[in-house]
Structure 1
């Protein structure tokens, strides 16, 4: 919902700037509407067009890298869960309770995946308690032989890696594009759209062009912001790795 509100506000700024400029321009004094004035306005707008293009390219690259990194970490997280379950199976039937708790934890992650959530499923506090419970159950085990002791130690280390990877995903869920940079880019685009309306003909075609252009530009920024937060909105990291891991744990 936050990204939608931001996109709507950006659209209002861009389309509104162009339409307001188009309405105000004919009311300005004659010397403000001369060709020399229009040429200077276009030169200033061209400067911000170049700067906006550079910043927009950097934002797209940053959002893409963030999305790909988190997607890779989710795959790694699912792999670590499978390996932990394999170690618990290898230990013996004494770990059935820990395996059931681990399966319940992963089930909560899969069920919590939603287009409307603001925080990643891995950050859920109740899910964290289930993961901690797995560690408590492992701590209560007393290996009767050296081989099982080594397996238990391996499982404990794998659980620690799972917990570490979980916190990595939680830390990466906030996004990396600074809000001031987004605000600055919107300000530049607003100025550019205002220059479009300066001395523009007042007809339905021009108005429609401004509205459509503002909507498309706002949609592009909305998608970039949404990609920068891969656990919320329509563009999300796929839960398929976690679903496959859950199927493995249930076998």
Structure 2
């Protein structure tokens, strides 16, 4: 929801800059409306067009890398959950309660997945308690033989990896694009859109072009912000790996 409001605000800023420039141009003194002045304004705008293009390219690449990295980490997280369950099964029926807690954790993660999540579902406090409960149940086990001791040790190591990856996903949920850079980019785009309205004819085609261009530019920035936070908004990391892990744990 925050990303949508930011996108609407950016559209208002860009379209407003172009329309205000279009409306107030005729009120400028005559020497401010000469061809030489217009040429200088265009040159300054072209400078920021190049800079904005570079920054947008970097932001798209950063958001894409963030999304792909977290998607890879979710797949790895689901794999570690399955391997942990396999280690618990290998130990024997004494790990039944631990496996039940692990399955309850994964079930909660899958059930909590929705477009309204602002933080990854792995950050849920109750989910953390369920994982800690698995660790407590493993610590209470006393393996009667070396083979089971080895299986228990493997399960504890897998659990540690699961916890580490869970916290890695939590830390990656806030995105990597700094807000000051986003603000600076919007300021540059406002200057560019303001230059569009400088000496532009006043007609519906020009106004419509300003509105459509502003909407498309704002939509592009919105998509970048959405991809930079893969656990919220329409573009989210798929929960399919966790759903497959749950199916493996409950079969």
Residue 68 of structure 1 corresponds to: 68
Query: How large is the Cα RMSD of the aligned pairs?
Result: 0.5
Q: Which runs of 4+ in 1 moved over 3 A?
A: none
> How far is the alpha carbon of 1:113 from its aligned partner?
0.8
* Correspondences of 1:109-128 after superposition (within 5 Å): 109-128=109-128
Aligned counterparts of 2:154 and 2:211: Cα–Cα separation in 1: 60
Residue 59 of structure 1 corresponds to: 59
Does 1:18 find its partner at 2:6?
A: no
TM-score, scaled to structure 2: 0.99
Aligned counterparts of 1:215 and 1:112: Cα–Cα separation in 2: 32
More displaced 10-residue stretch of structure 1: 113-122 or 75-84: 113-122
Aligned counterparts of 1:155 and 1:214: Cα–Cα separation in 2: 54
Residue 245 of structure 1 corresponds to: 245
Aligned counterparts of 1:112 and 1:16: Cα–Cα separation in 2: 40
> How far is the alpha carbon of 1:116 from its aligned partner?
1.2
Give SS of 1:173's match.
helix
Residue 220 of structure 2 corresponds to: 220
Give SS of 1:142's match.
coil
> How far is the alpha carbon of 1:179 from its aligned partner?
0.5
Structure 2 stretches lacking a partner, 5+ long: none
Give SS of 1:119's match.
coil
* Correspondences of 1:144-155 after superposition (within 5 Å): 144-155=144-155
Aligned residues between the structures: 251
> How far is the alpha carbon of 1:216 from its aligned partner?
0.3
Structure 1 stretches lacking a partner, 5+ long: none
TM-score, scaled to structure 1: 0.99
Aligned counterparts of 2:33 and 2:10: Cα–Cα separation in 1: 28
